Structure formats: structure tokens, C-alpha cells
A and B are shown apart, each in its own frame.
Chain A
Amino acid sequence: MSKNVSVWSSIPFWRRSAAWVTGFAVVLLIWLTFDTMGQITMGTDDDLKNGVTKRVPAPTVINYKITYEMSEKRGHEVPVIGEKEPFFGKEYSVEEAAAALHIGKLTSQSKNCMNCHTLLGNGAYYAPDLTKAWLDPAWSESGPMMAMTGKSTKEEAIAEFLVNPSKYPTHARMMPNLGITPDEAKGLVAFLKHMSSIDTNGFPRNFGKEIGETNAH
């Protein structure tokens, strides 16, 4: 390269710069990945017992009442893990809870939930977001789904719906029957309850706080 050529039109200069910038971005990404992995690894049952907050709690979180409350400190809503409550009429052991979550997560993939619904906001847009589905007012005592499925608890109502979705149509757009077994349905409910306890930085905003019709026409 002759001395008269500007560095700005020098291929070696841009090649070196591209390599340095890419290398820097990759190193930073890998470093942040290690940090993030540490923060999103599942907590333990002891964390739950001792009230240690984890971004992704242990599977035994299904033994606790979960709510979604405004945090003044963080400026958005966060899942709050409260008192113990029975799940399908009992308290799940560490092994049972892990097994339920395992079958639930596997079922969520093998039944292709993500190609109609969104999970943590990712997926398809044909059906409601499932991030905080466990906390949806539709499934609460005041909602319509318990009476419709004839069940007395939220978890039983959701499980019954998942086994026979097209038996309980709520809209013209229905969930199809996917051959979900009662065991898989229990697992899916555990998976949904666990997902609702994940700290998603306030997504979705204002979930379940507004009930009723829209003002838009």
C-alpha cells in the first residue's frame, strides 16, 4: 500500500477493525452469558423455604401461592411467592415436583404449544400468551373456567381443559384436542405454574389487573 492512500480506504485497516470489533463483542457476550446463566439457573427447595428470591425458582414453587405484584423498588410487577397451598390436593416432594415439571416441559414441546401460543412472549400469535397463564383471572374463583369444567380448584380446571380443550369452547377460535393424557396435563399445569413464578422484569405489564371490556371500538 502506497503512503498516499488514506487509511479510510485501506482494506487491511478495515479487516483488522472488523476482527477486533467482532472479537470484543464475542468476548463480552460470552462473559455476560456466564453471568446470566448464574442468575437464571433454577433455585433450590431450600431457597424457597428460606425465602431466597431466585429469578427462576425451584420446581417445588408449585407448592406455594404465587401472585404478581407491583414492586416499588423495581418499578414494575414481580412474581411474589407466598404461603404454601396444596397442588392437586397435596404437597409435592422435591422429586415429585421435578418430575412433574419435566413431563410438563416435555409435553409443552411435543404438543407444539409454541406454534399457537407465546411462552415468555415467544412463539406464535394465534392464542393467548402463557407466561402468566396460571395467574389469569379466567381460572380464578371469580372466573368462568372452574364452573365450566366443573372442578373446584384452579389446577384441576386447567388440567381438565387441557385434556378436552374442544369440549370447553370459549371462542370460535378453539384449542384442538392434542391427545394430552391426564398425567401430561398435570405436568403442564406444573410447568405453567412454575413459569408464572419466573421473574420476567415486569412482562406482561399490568397482567390480570384490568377486567372487563375495552373502550376501543
Chain B
Amino acid sequence: MLTSIKTNELQFESQKIGMMYFRVAIVLFGAQLLMGLIAAAQFLFPGFLFELFDFSVARMVHINALVVWMLYAMIGSVYYMVPFETGREVIGVAIAKLAFWVLTAAVTVVVLVYIIVQVGPGTEASIWLIHEGREYIEAPRWADIGIVVVVLVFYFNVFATYLKGERTGVMTVMVANLFALAGLYLTGMFYTDNISVDQYWWWWIIHLWVEATWEVFVGTLAAFALIKIIGAKREIVEMWLWIEVLMLFGSGILGLGHHYFWIGTPEYWWEIGALFSALEPVPLIAMFVHVLYDWGKEQGVAHAKGEVGSVMNNGPAMTWIVANAFGNFLGAGIWGFFHTLPQVNIYTHGTQFTSAHGHLAFFGAYATILIGMMYLAVQGTYGVKQMKATKLSKWAAFMIIFGVMGMTVALTISGYEQVLVERAELGATWDAFFIAQNLPWMVQGLAWRLTMGIVTFIGFAFLVMDLLSIGKNAKDAQRA
């Protein structure tokens, strides 16, 4: 990926800007994993970096780096796909590059402040300058405003390009969904002393991102990727996309109710949250079926024409797209459904069970497809016609998927014990918490989580090596 700065087959500036975002995304991805390892180690060795780099700091950077690398990779994916879909260059190239550098500088400052300053006094100034102390959206208020400005530039660029270029169904869904995705961020930019009101709006961002607009975003990327990789028929893919939008928004928007069971909000959210969030896995099954169906169909058509070999022109990208289709269903769908009913959730809410779901869902639904998009971009950057998976691609995919699954299973076992002992048996007090934390089921689960985290990290190292080398090697092979 780095050499791509010099050797570049991309015809559009927009795609090069996409590559700029991907490079930062992969660095932040690494930071996320590193912070996760520190936090996982602190569970087992509480003295590790105590009062130097506490769990709260490691955990904050862990989840913030996660959100930010995904946003970077999402913006990168959009800049990459825009010329393909609209058939033209993005309107404002210079301003897009400026926005990239402004955002990257801001992210660097924010992360350095998290790591060096860590906490401030209980004043408004701390919220404005250090962090907001709200999980996932910790970015200080000054950075919020900066993010909004940069995202407005990005959105204007994509929207104007869409208006001037060809308006495909894929792009229509993209611009409509991005509008909602960006607008939702505004609901988190205020302060209140009322923690119930605080968390009510906080969930508007978190839930309506990861269980509605981000999911539609993934559907849109998958549609684009299927057309690019296996030559799926646009009419079919776009029809599926609209059905997915219908099902994802139809279930996901009111599925928000499953976060309103216990935060002070009225009881009617029990029924609304349970009903609609129980429907949330349905579109995820549909998306999985859709990917396999299209793949099988295109392969069949090719065979019928007497062509040999695979219809895929990008093996590693397709691997991650399929991993996404299944991982989304498993992590978001199954692991989410496990604890979405209020009768269950009263015991599981805020335990390692949630953590298990969080890990597999973020990975399965988002990390996978964004990695796939990176492979697609590498292929484009080097102008590779047929990009086959290398040994490194395979090891990376295997170790990352195995590692995350391992962490998820380990945390599920820990969470199961925590639910039974801390919540059901002992009533969730301080004492109950520590009794549950010290039982072997919990401790061994946390140990396996750390082990599997290390496996994931090694897989990540392979992934970076592969992304840096696969394009060049495939290009050389193509020339030869």
C-alpha cells in the first residue's frame, strides 16, 4: 500500500484519496488491537500499568480507535467507489485532500491528549478539551465540531458528485444513508446533568449507527463489491439492496428500544424494543443468503458458458465479503438476539456477555467488509486483473477470524458465569461483582480472551504485510 504512492494505476483522484484514508485506518486498527491487549492483560494482572496507563484509558483508546478506523475506512471506501458508480471524478479534489489532513491532524491531537492528559477536573473545560467520558463518542467537543465540518465537506463532495454523475441505485442508497449517518452525530453534541436523557440521546448515535445506518452502509458496500468482484448483475444487486434497506431500517430504527429497557425510560420500550430488535437478525440472514446466491449464480453462469476457474477477480476481497455476510449474521444477529429480550437482558445487561456480542458484531459486521474494501482498493491501485489470495492472505484471514471467534466464545463463557452468579444469584452488588470476577470460569475465560487477542494481533500483522505486498507481487506476476 505504501509504494502505491509512487506506482499508481488509479485513474481518479477520488480513489487516491480513498487510499489515503485506508492507510490511516489500518494504523488506527493496529492501535485498537494494541490497546485491547493492554486492557485484556489488566483484567488478569490488575497491577499492570496501574496509575500510569489505567484500564479506563486503554479501554477508551481501544473503542475510540475502533470507531475512528472504521469511519476512516468507510470514508475511504466511499471515495474509492464514487468514480466507479458515478463515472466521474469527485467534484472537490483539493478540498477533499485538505479535509483529510485536517481530520488526521485532529485525530492525532485527540489521541495524544487521551494518552498523555487522560483525565481532567470536573469542569466544562474538560469536556471541551480532553474527552467527554461517554463511551464510543469520547471525542472532546472541539473535535466534535471539527468532525462535523470535515464530514460536511465529505458529504457535500459525494452528494455533488452524485448529482453531476450517473445516479445508480447503489449511489442513491449511499447518499441517502450517509445523510442520516452524519446527521445522527449531532444528537450527541450536548451536555446534560440528567443521565437518563444523556443516555437516551447517546444511544441515538450508537444504536442508529451500528444497528441501522452502518448496516445499510455495509449492504451498499457489499452490493458494490459483488458487482466489482464477481460481476453480479446490477439489477439483481440493487433490488436486493432496497429490500435490505427496508428490512434493516424497518427493524433497526425501532430496535433502538432494546437500549431503553433500564435507563429510566418508560416500560413500553420493553415491547417495542423486544419486537423490533428480535427482527433485526432477519435482514442479516437475507444479506448472507444474497451474497451466496449471487456468487453461486455467477459461478454457474460462467460454467455454463464453458469458462473454467473462479468468477472472482479478487480472492482475498471475496473471502472478507463472505466473512462479512456470515459474521454479520452470527455476531450482530445471533449474539445480539441472545440477550435482546428484556426477560433475559435484565440479567445480561452490562456483563461480559455484552462484551462478547460487541467483539463479534463489530468484527463480523464491519471490520470484515472494510478489510475486503482495502483489498479491492489495492487491486485497483496496482491495476491487477486477477488478484489471488496469497499464503499471507489466508493466514491473516484464518488467524483474525479464529482469534475473534475465540475471544467471543471465551467472553461468552465468562459472561454466562457473571450473569448467573453476580446478577441472578447475588443481586449485582459490589461484592457480588468481585465474587463473580474471581471464579475460575471468569478468570479462565479472560485468560483465553487475552490468548485469542494475541492470535488476532498476529493475524493483523500478516494482514498488514499482505496488503503491503500482494498488489506489487500480483502486478509483477501479471507482467511476467
Interface residues of A, Cβ cutoff 8 Å to B: 9-11, 14-15, 17-18, 21-22, 25-26, 28-29, 32-33, 35-37, 39-42, 55-56, 59, 98, 101-116, 118-129, 131-133, 136-138, 166, 170-174, 176-181, 184, 187, 191, 195, 198-211, 213-217
* B262 and A25 form a contact (CB under 8 A): no
What 0/1 readout, one digit per residue, does chain B (160-182) give for beta carbons within 8 Å of chain A? 00000000010000000000000
A101 to B436, CA, bound (A): 31
Chain A proximity of B274: nearest CB distance (Å) = 13
A43 to B10, CA, bound (A): 60
* B263 and A114 form a contact (CB under 8 A): no
- Interface residue? B120 (CB, 8 A): yes
* Interfacial chain A residues near B239, Cβ < 8 Å: 9-11, 14
Chain A proximity of B306: nearest CB distance (Å) = 28
* Interfacial chain B residues near A101, Cβ < 8 Å: 193
* B253 and A213 form a contact (CB under 8 A): no
* A214 and B435 form a contact (CB under 8 A): yes
* A122 and B350 form a contact (CB under 8 A): yes
* B195 and A198 form a contact (CB under 8 A): yes
The number of residue pairs between A and B whose CB atoms lie closer than 8 Å in the complex comes to 274
* A122 and B56 form a contact (CB under 8 A): no
A207 to B433, CA, bound (A): 11
* A102 and B193 form a contact (CB under 8 A): yes
A54 to B356, CA, bound (A): 35
* A207 and B429 form a contact (CB under 8 A): yes
* Interfacial chain B residues near A119, Cβ < 8 Å: 195, 199
A190 to B131, CA, bound (A): 22
With contacts A122-B263, A125-B351 taken as known, whether A115 is within 8 angstroms of B245 at the C-beta atoms is no
* B253 and A22 form a contact (CB under 8 A): yes
A151 to B77, CA, bound (A): 58
A181 to B123, CA, bound (A): 12
With contacts A174-B46, A200-B262 taken as known, whether A112 is within 8 angstroms of B119 at the C-beta atoms is yes
* Interfacial chain B residues near A209, Cβ < 8 Å: 427
A15 to B433, CA, bound (A): 49
* B119 and A110 form a contact (CB under 8 A): yes
Chain A proximity of B420: nearest CB distance (Å) = 7
The SS class assigned to the B binding surface is: helix
Closest to B264 in A: A198
* B246 and A22 form a contact (CB under 8 A): yes
B245, B272, B420 interface centre (most CB from chain A within 10 Å): B245
With contacts A14-B243, A14-B246 taken as known, whether A25 is within 8 angstroms of B254 at the C-beta atoms is yes
* A106 and B249 form a contact (CB under 8 A): no
Residue in A110, A122, A126 whose CB lies within 8 Å of B122: A110
A203 to B98, CA, bound (A): 48
* A15 and B242 form a contact (CB under 8 A): yes
What 0/1 readout, one digit per residue, does chain B (44-76) give for beta carbons within 8 Å of chain A? 001100110011110110000000000000000
Closest to A39 in B: B266
B238, B350, B352, B433 interface centre (most CB from chain A within 10 Å): B350
* B425 and A136 form a contact (CB under 8 A): no
A209 to B57, CA, bound (A): 33
Q: Beyond A37-B197, A205-B423: 5 further Cβ-contacts under 8 Å?
A: A112-B57, A114-B135, A122-B202, A201-B267, A205-B428
List the 10 closest A-B pairs by CB distance, nearest first.
A107-B122, A109-B133, A203-B262, A204-B428, A121-B350, A110-B126, A14-B242, A25-B253, A206-B427, A115-B56
Residue in B235, B242, B352, B434 whose CB lies within 8 Å of A171: B434
With contacts A116-B55, A125-B354 taken as known, whether A18 is within 8 angstroms of B249 at the C-beta atoms is yes
* B346 and A205 form a contact (CB under 8 A): yes
* B133 and A25 form a contact (CB under 8 A): no
* A202 and B346 form a contact (CB under 8 A): yes
What 0/1 readout, one digit per residue, does chain B (106-131) give for beta carbons within 8 Å of chain A? 00000000000011111110110011
A27 to B347, CA, bound (A): 31
Residue in A29, A203, A206, A207 whose CB lies within 8 Å of B349: A203
- Interface residue? B476 (CB, 8 A): no
* B50 and A106 form a contact (CB under 8 A): no
A195 to B350, CA, bound (A): 16
* Interfacial chain A residues near B130, Cβ < 8 Å: 110
Q: List 8 A-B contacts (CB under 8 A).
A: A18-B242, A32-B268, A59-B193, A109-B132, A115-B133, A118-B350, A216-B425, A217-B439
* Interfacial chain B residues near A203, Cβ < 8 Å: 261-262, 346, 349
* Interfacial chain B residues near A15, Cβ < 8 Å: 169, 242
A119 to B261, CA, bound (A): 14
Chain B proximity of A138: nearest CB distance (Å) = 5
* Interfacial chain A residues near B420, Cβ < 8 Å: 216
Chain A proximity of B43: nearest CB distance (Å) = 7
* Interfacial chain B residues near A56, Cβ < 8 Å: 194, 196-197, 264
A156 to B418, CA, bound (A): 30
B119, B417, B428 interface centre (most CB from chain A within 10 Å): B428
* Interfacial chain B residues near A111, Cβ < 8 Å: 119, 122, 133
A217 to B133, CA, bound (A): 36
* Interfacial chain B residues near A216, Cβ < 8 Å: 417, 420-421, 425, 439
A41 to B272, CA, bound (A): 21
- Interface residue? B260 (CB, 8 A): yes
* A138 and B431 form a contact (CB under 8 A): yes
Chain B proximity of A215: nearest CB distance (Å) = 7
* Interfacial chain A residues near B259, Cβ < 8 Å: 122
